[in-house]
Amino acid sequence: MLWQTAQQAGKYWPRAIILVDMNAFFASVEQLDHPEWRGRALAVTNGKQGTCVITSSYEARAFGIKTGMRLDEAKRLCPDLIQVPAHPERYVQVSRAIMEALASLTPDMEIFSIDEAFLDVTRCQSLFGTPEAMGLMARELVFKASGLLCSVGVSGDKTTAKFAAKQRKPNGFTVIPPWQSKERLKHVLVTELCGIKSGIGGFLARHGVLTCGDMEKVPISVLAKRFGNLGRRIWYMCQGADPDPVHTQVASPKSMGHGKVMPPGTRDMHVVETYLMHMCEKLASRLRHHHFHAQHFFAGLRSREFGWLGGVGQTLQPTNDGREIFQLGSFLLAQRWEGESVCQIQVTALDPGSGGLQLDFFTAPDIRRCQINDVVDDINDRFGEFTIGPAPLLFRSATPNVIAPAWKPDGHRQTI
């Protein structure tokens, strides 16, 4: 009883999680670097020729402009909209500074995406005070490191902390003590929680679960039978008791790939081959950078009418050479693509690994090719991507790289 009284007075939480969520991150960085754009409607697109809104400033959102909206539609809603090509390297630079600053608060940090991080501050309470105080500290650290504002949610589990951070954006600060989480979520739609989309939401609706409070009507075994451990986690999430820990380590990759949107209606084989070579070389360089090889690859083209056209194949030996991956990719596309209109390409290594290579008795490694790749990587690392590369890549897409949702500042997920 005494422990509960102290807990409810804010002196100690059995578990304390902070979620830091940057406000319209890419757009905010652009407004930071260009003071003349502050307070104005702004949309970030993938390059000057980009036709889709990656993100927008809050001034633009007031006009109804959303992520994923076509640029022409956005300009109809806001004729004075400023289009800004994305600068991924700059966003990465700012994100790194923010994450390094937050790491000074606690080492127990999970970088959820380039603009979000979970902080487990349970063990820091005796050092820095209450979770609420540490939430305010986190917000101050972000501002000092970047000059940007953020929204902060503080609670006793990851899901409730993320929900809290969304409540008063932008620049919000919401605290939901763990003993209040279940009641606070009671009337919240389950689909408002992170990770519960229409598929899972539809399953829950068929079992009478529309709000988090409805979850008590359903035995945990029903969700476990359908979704396994994820189902068990969802059952607890809806009751303000998400058991998922803050993951401080990035798991080894199960796959590694690169893709790119192509000009709508692409049918030209030479264009397709250039895009394929571009993605194969990017993937190969990334595999080499992390000392990975792979033997099984997917290569495919996406058609709006027929879906993905491509397949899975394997090289003779595990490889990280772009030429070998390109040869396999060309073969796979030739089996399925017959000139249909396509709009996207993807090349993925399905079994990347860093273990020792078991070479075939009759297959000698191409030492000279490996040496060439090492020299090319050194030059490109120093002077920029594709300073040296296959000649056909002089005609590669001019659209800039993009930051994947699973980006991390270190390890195999740092590539953009």
**Which residue numbers are catalytic?**
116
Closest CA to 124 of 154, 162, 147, 166: 154
For residue 344, CA distances in Å to 20, 300, 306 come to 33, 8, 12
Distance CA 17, CA 154 (A): 6
Distance CA 283, CA 347 (A): 8
Angle (deg, nearest 10), helices 269-289 and 367-383: 90
Strands 82-85 and 42-45: parallel
Is the bond preceding residue 170 a cis peptide, omega within 30 degrees? yes
Distance CA 151, CA 139 (A): 8
Distance CA 100, CA 410 (A): 12
Judge whether 288 and 366 are in contact, CB under 8 Å.
no
Written as six digits, the tokens of 177 are 């003590």
Q: Positive or negative, the Cα torsion across 39, 43, 44, 47?
A: negative
